[in-house]
Structure 1
Amino acid sequence: MTPLRTGGFGQSISLHFTGEDGRRYTVRSLDKDPTKRIWDELKDTIVDDVLQDLISALLPTGALVADPLMEATGILHSKHTLVVIPDDPRLGEYREEFAGLIGTLQEHPSEGPDDTPGFAGSRRISGTERLWEHLEESPCNRVDARAYLKAKLMDLFIGDKDRHYGQWRWAQFPDGDCYTWLTIPEDRDQAFIGFKGFAMAMARKRLPRQITFGDKYPSLVGLSTTGWEMDREFLSELNKTAWDSVVTAFRRDLPDSVIEDAVRRLPPPYYKMIGETLTQALKSRRDALPDFASRYYELITRQVEIQATDKDEYAQCEHLPNGDLAVRIGLIEDPGGKRKAPYFQRTFHPQETREVRIYLRGGDDHAEISGTKGQIVVRIDGGGGDDTLTNASQSGTSKTRFYDYRGKNQFAKGRGAKIDERPYKRPPARLLRARYALDWGGQAATAPIIRVNPDMDVFVGATYHRQHFGYRKDPFSSQHFFKIGLAKDSDLKGIKPFASYTGNFREFMRDFDARIYLKYSGFQTIRFNGFGNKTEIPRPSSFYKVEQRHFVFAPALEFRAGDHKGDMPHVGMGSLRSKLTIDFGPIIKYSNTPLSSNREKYIGSLDQPLYGTDSFGQVGALGEVAYDTRNSLGYPTQGVRVRVAGAIYPGVWDVESTFGSIDGVASTYLTAPIPTNPTLALRAGGKKVWGTFPFHESAFLGGSGFVGSGISSGNLRGFRKNRFAGETALYGNSELRLVLTKIKLLVSGELGVFGTADAGRVIYDKDPDNADKWHTSIGGGFWLSFLKRQQTFSAAIVKGDDLTGVYLRAGFMF
């Protein structure tokens, strides 16, 4: 063989050869270097070491075991042979790097020269991206769904979770006047992977893809996620009967003798260590495969995707009396509208399928929905061309959706099909196809909480976050945050419960999102030191605490514009962030501040009870406008952020007369291109309350700050929470942030320092003339940032008239 070129852009390195037989071959290294694909900031750090250590979880010779299993089940593949590249002068320029390298040798699937048959007698070999182009051109190019399912079953069987679109090649074979494409699975690096141990078990709760191979199947989502987009497209024509027949044949083709022989292909030292365990695990997984494969069928059949082509085509969807949906797609043969026999035909059942999505792509297409009132949602995307989309069924907008904004289209709504002609661009293929689906399914995560702060001894609880994805709802369809916990406060006696829920719903009303906020707190610990800008606090801090139970219900509609690029995460579950946000809605609040429980506190020592104590209910309306152009959340260096909120509560329930408030804050960031990259961060804000208001709706300074929509941030450091209360609060904050040096702790990052200066005052109409002082504080500290400043932590000591406080937080105060 003659060396041709090097390869390997991931964790492996490879050397390509040309054989005397004219075929191409590749040797891939057994050893891996995962650090080739991580950020420079993480190289030569503990993360680098951990990732390299995790390579030990791989089975380097797993491909040797997979080969005979694929041979037995009839899956097209390239066989592997364990080799050592000799130290031979014929290696030429590659000798220094590759001499002595241990790897696997395999034929590289390629086309034959001069239009002769290529790999396995195929006519053409393509990667997945080129395959998609062929499939889009004409229905004469079709993927063999049964063959692809066998390959997917093998992935599940051997625990190979890394099956994104780059891990496949495709062989084209003539099929009459058309062509069939058979899959060629590649890269078995992560087959039989073993992420074991306590740390990985904990990590799997948030990262289900970190699976481990064993005699029982792992998380279905974790094992299958990276292949979802391909699976939903290429397996959509298989009903349950066809699916089960493939599974049955696959299982039958793997008797004990085949499994035992496959495992014996391991090198003797490997077989001695894990041979018996691996053999037994494969036998157990084979026996359990029908149930696991059935669960996977149920998962990818809930929302089905059918891809048409760029030819002129028809799509017929008929709602049947029993709730089934019959779908037929075929070519329109000539301008007269003559239709050929369908190339796609399947009947969907509501017990299995909630939604069918048909992408007609280019061409002048005709889609028709007929029949009874359906149980399955039908979404038809016309794509390019001049399309005709007709609803002649008994179904209305809840089950019939047409999407088309390109071409001269005609719509027949019938009993009320929903028509959407807004331009839309799907998320980038690198996110959608290679890693995670963003328009179907969902994910969830839980996390414990333990907090300690000056207002409570300890809070112990947990959060649950669930995210659902939906059609054309980026980056999610709905988000649900639950938080529950218990707090212990020695000052307020006893254990107090807490529970909250926040729900976000994308495009609840076309151009408007919806949000629901619900909270109950049995320990709504606030502080009240009296009204005015010159109040004294001679007693201990605990004397000014207020025990209050608190309930809030606040639904809202939100309008968003100018989403940030970071709003479409393909990992994790971040909050949606837009440049402009407008929200409005009603609010219900109920608080109980019993004087009997506060008799030994300041609020209980007053001669006249404050308005708002004991049971107090209020109902009103909220509105907020936010504008955000910051270039980073963790460490902004440019941009602005402005928020203005208003609230009004009429004289109903326990409110004696109408009162309201307006609350605003604005910040900006100015960075100079000089050494230390100084960033001057400036913020100014305030709140005005009018009318007769309960004490807990005061304009507070020192602590909770921006409270118009239940949003909280500190506004005056060096002073206790809610230190001053009045009808108006004004404050300003400034920070000068400097970069000192790059550091390397667990990971690479930056170290810097910053100085702070705050000022603020409240205005209260009963204050004396000399109560116009601006309260100030000054301080400084240091900050650390990691991962390109996505994670920033700061620590500061700030001295004010009240106290010298230590402030530790993720990020900065603003």
Structure 2
Amino acid sequence: MRPSLLTSLLIRLGRGLAAGLLLALLALALGLLLSAAATGVGPGASLPPPLARTSAGPRWVPDSATVQVAAGPQYAAGWGWQLLWGRHHRRLWATPVTARVLRLGPGTPGGLRPVQAGGSYQSRTLRLRADDGREFVLRSVDKDARAALPAGWPRRLLGGLMRDQTSAGHPYAAYPAARLAEAAGVLHTNPQLVFVGDEAGLGQFRARYANALYLLEERPDGDQRHAPSLGFAPRVISSSHLRARLGQQPAPSPATARAFLRARLLDLWLGDWSRRPDQWRWAVFPTAQGNTRPEYRPIPRDRDQAFFQLGDGLYPGLISLCVAKYQSLTPALTPRRVAGLRRSARALDLLLLRGLARADFQAEADSLRRRLTDEALAQALQAGPPEVRAQMSADLTPVLRARRAQLPAVAGWFFEQLQADKEPVPEAVWRD
């Protein structure tokens, strides 16, 4: 019996979709192979050093107090590569900027000395201690996520591409993010761009950390009564400690929850998807006598993924469609984009925000929209290195203005998604 016309059409449609999927997979495989060859990461290729170095050496001024150096000249690419793998923030990465040279060790200003190395799959960090006991953190501007790939052929084949996609991050996002947090009423650190040369003061960390650009900022921990941007807090704790404290109470105070909601709406506006519990610290404030619940105010840190721009190339665009959290900074926000952006912080969202009403979400969105004025935005975008301020302003101003107008809608979607979220939180996300 001959199939009906409708059945024939469905069969043809199915075959067409299967053929299209097969072609897409073949194109992706071909693109990976060609890209791997172009980046020199085929079988047997050696990997670069664990910390990204600038391929063009720094240009020192005569007194050696500052240098001019690009954060990532290796991310510059032609139009063909950008078509396949994204324009991202490559121009910013490749533009030389002026950075202060940081001297380490006894006899230097502040007497900063390294005490502990750290970092995640991408950043490299180095904890510093000053002569007066205060602690700071150096965080590498350039990233390297290849360690997240399995060793062997996956890393050899995909490592160069993984490294190249660092250019989706904004190298100087921490600067305007701190100024915008100030305008929003959110506590924050104060990053400074510095260059660490081949310093003897690096000691045992010299081979791994010399000759690179870093962000230097306060380490928000312990007693911070000297730090206005950290609220002069008598104590700062980690998210795991916050969770343990709240576990002994019926619920977080409304003031604590509202302060965190404001910070989370700021995250969504900035397009910062990397907000797992370890990316937060908490300022602890004693309350009035008789109130057993102290107040906690969030301190977001590590703004490495604010202003993220991934979906402007063929293959990264496909990745962003498949991996919900990789949302690019676009003028239009949607429920799907909000769901992706909030994913890495959902453990804290569920812990702190479930007790708030929809009206609280709308009130904080309205307050944030009033605080983030055009003037505040313009001033914040003048906080980066002088050589890239004009470009940062041109790139980000129209997008952030459009997103600001959508904050009330974003707050509504955020509230609805939070109420519908029934997925259990893995215990592992709370590890510091």
Determine the structure 2 residue equivalent to 1:154.
266
Determine the structure 2 residue equivalent to 1:794.
none
Deviation track 1:224-249 (CA, whole Å, cap 9, x = no partner) reads 21222321221122112222111111
Matched, 1:295 2:293: no
- The answer to whether the 8 A contact 1:200-1:210 is kept is no
Determine the structure 2 residue equivalent to 1:11.
122
- The answer to whether the 8 A contact 2:223-2:236 is kept is no
Matched position secondary structure for 2:308: coil
Partner of residue 207 from structure 2, selected from 96, 113, 117: 96
Matched, 1:125 2:236: yes
Determine the structure 2 residue equivalent to 1:268.
386
Note the residue ranges of structure 1 that are not aligned, 5 or more in a row: 306-425, 435-814
**1:152 is aligned with what amino acid?**
R
Partner of residue 171 from structure 1, selected from 283, 292, 305: 283
- The answer to whether the 8 A contact 1:232-1:304 is kept is no
Alpha-carbon distance in 2 for matches of 1:106, 1:31: 16
Determine the structure 2 residue equivalent to 1:480.
none
Matched, 1:193 2:308: yes
**Identity level (%):** 29
Alignment of 1:415-564 (within 5 A): 428-430=426-428
Matched, 1:2 2:113: yes
The change in CA–CA distance for 1:138 and 1:288 in structure 2 (over 3 A counts) is: closer
Q: What displacement does 1:58 show?
A: 0.7
Moved over 4 A (4+): 116-119, 139-143
Deviation track 1:385-424 (CA, whole Å, cap 9, x = no partner) reads xxxxxxxxxxxxxxxxxxxxxxxxxxxxxxxxxxxxxxxx
The change in CA–CA distance for 1:283 and 1:21 in structure 2 (over 3 A counts) is: farther
Deviation track 1:539-570 (CA, whole Å, cap 9, x = no partner) reads xxxxxxxxxxxxxxxxxxxxxxxxxxxxxxxx
State the structure with bigger RCO (CA 8 A, min sep 6), 1 or 2.
2
The change in CA–CA distance for 1:206 and 1:141 in structure 2 (over 3 A counts) is: closer
Alpha-carbon distance in 2 for matches of 1:87, 1:9: 23
Q: What displacement does 1:117 show?
A: 7.5
The change in CA–CA distance for 1:236 and 1:250 in structure 2 (over 3 A counts) is: same
**2:300 is aligned with what amino acid?**
P
**2:137 is aligned with what amino acid?**
T
**1:192 is aligned with what amino acid?**
F
Determine the structure 2 residue equivalent to 1:283.
401
Alpha-carbon distance in 2 for matches of 1:244, 1:111: 33
- The answer to whether the 8 A contact 1:164-1:226 is kept is yes
- The answer to whether the 8 A contact 1:64-1:266 is kept is yes
- The answer to whether the 8 A contact 1:110-1:124 is kept is yes
Matched, 1:34 2:152: no
Alpha-carbon distance in 2 for matches of 1:427, 1:297: 18
Determine the structure 2 residue equivalent to 1:72.
183
Alignment of 1:764-779 (within 5 A): none
**1:257 is aligned with what amino acid?**
E
**2:427 is aligned with what amino acid?**
A
Determine the structure 2 residue equivalent to 1:208.
324
- The answer to whether the 8 A contact 1:170-1:183 is kept is yes
Alpha-carbon distance in 1 for matches of 2:122, 2:319: 22
The change in CA–CA distance for 1:303 and 1:112 in structure 2 (over 3 A counts) is: closer
- The answer to whether the 8 A contact 1:16-1:24 is kept is yes
Matched position secondary structure for 2:322: coil
Matched position secondary structure for 2:116: strand
Q: Which moved more, 1:67-76 or 1:279-288?
A: 279-288
The change in CA–CA distance for 1:228 and 1:112 in structure 2 (over 3 A counts) is: closer
Larger radius of gyration, structure 1 or 2?
A: 1
Q: What displacement does 1:86 show?
A: 4.0
Matched position secondary structure for 2:355: coil
Q: What displacement does 1:210 show?
A: 2.4
Alpha-carbon distance in 1 for matches of 2:268, 2:249: 31
Matched position secondary structure for 2:147: helix
**2:296 is aligned with what amino acid?**
W
The change in CA–CA distance for 1:44 and 1:243 in structure 2 (over 3 A counts) is: closer
Q: What displacement does 1:173 show?
A: 0.8
Structure 2 length normalisation: TM-score? 0.67
Aligned residues: 311
Matched, 1:251 2:369: yes
The change in CA–CA distance for 1:122 and 1:273 in structure 2 (over 3 A counts) is: closer
Deviation track 1:455-492 (CA, whole Å, cap 9, x = no partner) reads xxxxxxxxxxxxxxxxxxxxxxxxxxxxxxxxxxxxxx
Determine the structure 1 residue equivalent to 2:159.
48
Matched, 1:180 2:321: no
**1:246 is aligned with what amino acid?**
E
The change in CA–CA distance for 1:27 and 1:427 in structure 2 (over 3 A counts) is: closer
Alpha-carbon distance in 2 for matches of 1:295, 1:141: 22
The change in CA–CA distance for 1:221 and 1:242 in structure 2 (over 3 A counts) is: closer
Matched position secondary structure for 1:48: helix
Determine the structure 2 residue equivalent to 1:443.
none
Deviation track 1:747-804 (CA, whole Å, cap 9, x = no partner) reads xxxxxxxxxxxxxxxxxxxxxxxxxxxxxxxxxxxxxxxxxxxxxxxxxxxxxxxxxx
The change in CA–CA distance for 1:266 and 1:117 in structure 2 (over 3 A counts) is: closer
Q: What displacement does 1:194 show?
A: 0.7
Alpha-carbon distance in 1 for matches of 2:173, 2:297: 23
**2:384 is aligned with what amino acid?**
L
**2:258 is aligned with what amino acid?**
R
Determine the structure 1 residue equivalent to 2:355.
237
The change in CA–CA distance for 1:11 and 1:173 in structure 2 (over 3 A counts) is: same
Structure in which a larger fraction of residues adopt strand: 1
Determine the structure 1 residue equivalent to 2:58.
none
- The answer to whether the 8 A contact 1:12-1:33 is kept is yes
Alpha-carbon distance in 2 for matches of 1:91, 1:46: 34
Alpha-carbon distance in 2 for matches of 1:211, 1:261: 25
Structure in which a larger fraction of residues adopt helix: 2
**1:110 is aligned with what amino acid?**
D
Determine the structure 1 residue equivalent to 2:63.
none
Matched position secondary structure for 2:282: strand
Alpha-carbon distance in 1 for matches of 2:200, 2:239: 37
Q: What displacement does 1:290 show?
A: 1.3
Determine the structure 1 residue equivalent to 2:85.
none
RMSD of aligned Cα (Å) = 2.5
Matched position secondary structure for 1:205: helix
- The answer to whether the 8 A contact 1:236-1:304 is kept is no
Matched position secondary structure for 2:164: helix
**1:150 is aligned with what amino acid?**
R
The change in CA–CA distance for 1:3 and 1:237 in structure 2 (over 3 A counts) is: same
Q: What displacement does 1:430 show?
A: 2.6
The change in CA–CA distance for 1:280 and 1:243 in structure 2 (over 3 A counts) is: same
The change in CA–CA distance for 1:12 and 1:243 in structure 2 (over 3 A counts) is: same
Structure 1 length normalisation: TM-score? 0.36
Matched position secondary structure for 1:204: helix
Alpha-carbon distance in 1 for matches of 2:420, 2:201: 56
Q: What displacement does 1:13 show?
A: 0.9
Q: What displacement does 1:9 show?
A: 3.2
**1:254 is aligned with what amino acid?**
L
The change in CA–CA distance for 1:203 and 1:11 in structure 2 (over 3 A counts) is: closer
